[in-house]
Amino acid sequence: MNLAARLQATLDLMQEIDSVVRPADAVVSASFRAHRQIGDADRGQLSELLYALLRHHARLGWWLTKQSCEATPRNRLLAWLALGEGKTPEQVHGLFSGGQSAPAALTEPERKLLAKLQGGTIEHPAMPDEVRGECPAWAAAPLRQRFGESFPREMAGLLTPPPLDLRVNPLKATREAMLGALRRLGLPAEPTRLAPFGIRVTERPSLARLPMLKSGEVEIQDEGSQLVASLVDAKPGERVVDFCAGAGGKTLAIAVQMENKGHVIACDVLANRLKRSAERFRNAGLHNIETKPLTSEKDPWVKRHKGGFDRVLVDAPCSGTGTWRRNPDARWRVLGDGLETLLPLQASILASAARLVKPGGRLVYATCSMLAEENEAQVAGFLAAHPAFHVVPLREVAPQLKESAHPDYLSLTPARHGTDGFFAAVLRRDAAF
């Protein structure tokens, strides 16, 4: 596939991403499955260009507005070639030839746009911090309030492409053995700084190159997510619920903590995701996990099992601001009805799941958000309404995690910790309610 053909393929993907409600990574995966003739090298270059465009969405839009141009996928691509890659109008003209597999020939307005952008750079001194940091308007005020003068630095941290983090399954392998296996594949692999079973690969290899994924010796999991799961600290023989299990990444880590002993129940309202996760559980050699689809957070199953579990993890649905470096298109997608819907849903999920915790048991509330409204404020509201619970400070449950941005809770950001943005609070139930 030559460069012109890759540009047209990128345009096709951009247009589909703009027209459907699915995340960009799902669109890309489906496209690659439908076009198996595209080789790994071309897939890598396509993905790199596409995600560069997604990570520069606001800045490209700012430049196009400045030139009185609509921010269409084609105009965004033209602006990127000029500002991000420094191509001259003549070079772009040669690529947009209208030939077979190439983008349609440039129009006169497009030629004028390229001429105006020639010699520019992707950033401009007149850009507002929100544009330079690719921060959508709805999130700017709460993130500014949280980070203050560090706002530009934290937003810049969310613009860096994420590494590939793996979690070693100690039931099947050791971290040392997996580090060696990855290095023999020619991949730069190092132990994660904070997570004891984590490995960081700084390149983005084709996952087909990693036989240890197929064997269940490792799982893909961000270091921050691994740390959240570690706060559950489930013991062999205990009864544990992962209340919003999703694809089951944290469920796997919890079951491993329990050494395949005891009982883990993975719950979610999305039954199909739970069904797919069951294959991951088998592949990892785990047989102490049960999946339980729920009709809602107030499913009658919760009431029937009130006070029956040692540990309950609530990885609540959230704005996902902490995952923007991994899912850059998520910044610009509508959050359903927005935070005004998410916040009461989170509170309802946490209150309902808390009923499952037995006296003396542990409740972990977590999000992949960096907004205080979804994190500290949710915990404060829960504690005010549920006096049987109290916070267990991070220094007591995980004294090794000294770098958290909050003294009592796990609080991680890409800029400070090199992980996705995560929050987790450990709560303990003292008495019956």
Per-residue pLDDT of the chain (433 residues; tens, 9 = 90+): 889 999 999 999 999 998 888 889 889 989 988 888 888 888 889 999 999 999 999 999 999 999 999 999 999 999 999 999 999 999 999 999 998 889 999 999 999 999 999 999 999 999 999 999 999 999 999 999 999 999 999 999 999 989 999 999 999 999 999 999 999 999 999 999 999 999 999 888 888 889 999 999 999 999 999 999 999 999 999 999 999 999 899 999 999 999 999 999 999 999 988 988 988 898 899 999 999 999 999 999 999 999 999 999 999 999 999 999 999 999 998 756 688 999 999 999 999 999 999 999 999 999 999 999 999 999 999 999 999 999 999 999 999 998 899 999 999 999 999 999 999 999 999 965 4
Q: Which of 135, 267, 318, 368 is catalytic?
A: 368
- Mind listing the pLDDT tens digit for each residue in 271-283? 988 988 988 898 8
Do the domains 223-429 and 164-220 match in fold?
no
The question of whether 368 is a catalytic residue gets the answer yes
CA distance 6 to 102: 8
CA distance 32 to 37: 9
- Domain 223-429 homologous superfamily, CATH: Vaccinia Virus protein VP39 (3.40.50.150)
The residue ranges of every structural domain in the chain are 3-127, 164-220, 223-429
Give the architecture-level CATH label for domain 164-220: 2-Layer Sandwich (3.30)
Please count the CA atoms within 13 angstroms of the CA of 162 that sit on its side-chain side. 22
Would the pTM count as exceeding 0.75?
yes
- Mind listing the pLDDT tens digit for each residue in 81-120? 999 999 999 999 999 999 888 999 999 999 999 999 999 9
Q: Based on C-alpha coordinates, what's the Rg of the chain?
A: 23
Contacts of 172 (CB under 8 A, 6+ apart): 215, 216, 217, 284, 285
